[in-house]
């Protein structure tokens, strides 16, 4: 994910976190389903996204 963001010259990562999808507590290891939380600045526009993913 970082590679894709840094490929855009105007991108500045604000935050990238991995959390439990129920409690929203940040997790250090990925097991089962987790929530990815991301905020990126593209120029003067801040983009925010959240995505639930499952570890393989």
| pLDDT tens figures, 2-52 | 677 778 888 899 999 999 999 999 999 888 999 999 999 999 999 999 999
Which domain covers residue 45, as residue numbers?
A: 2-54
Distances (CA, A) of 28 to 13, 33, 56: 19, 13, 16
Q: Sorting pLDDT into bands at 50, 70 and 90, what band is 1?
A: low
Query: What's the domain count of the chain?
Result: 1
Contact in structure between 39 and 15 (CB atoms under 8 Å): yes
Question: Reduced to 3 states, what is the DSSP secondary structure of residue 29?
Answer: coil
Cα–Cα distance between 41 and 56 in angstroms, integer? 30
* CATH code assigned at 47: 3.30.1300.10
Residue 17: closest CA among 3, 6, 1: 1
Q: What is the pLDDT of residue 7?
A: 83
């Amino acid at each position: 994910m970082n590679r894709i963001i840094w490929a855009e010259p105007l991108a500045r990562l604000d935050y990238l976190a991995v959390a439990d999808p129920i409690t929203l507590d940040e997790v250090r290891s990925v097991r089962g389903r987790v929530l990815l939380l991301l905020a990126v600045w593209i120029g003067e526009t801040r983009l925010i996204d959240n995505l639930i993913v499952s570890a393989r």
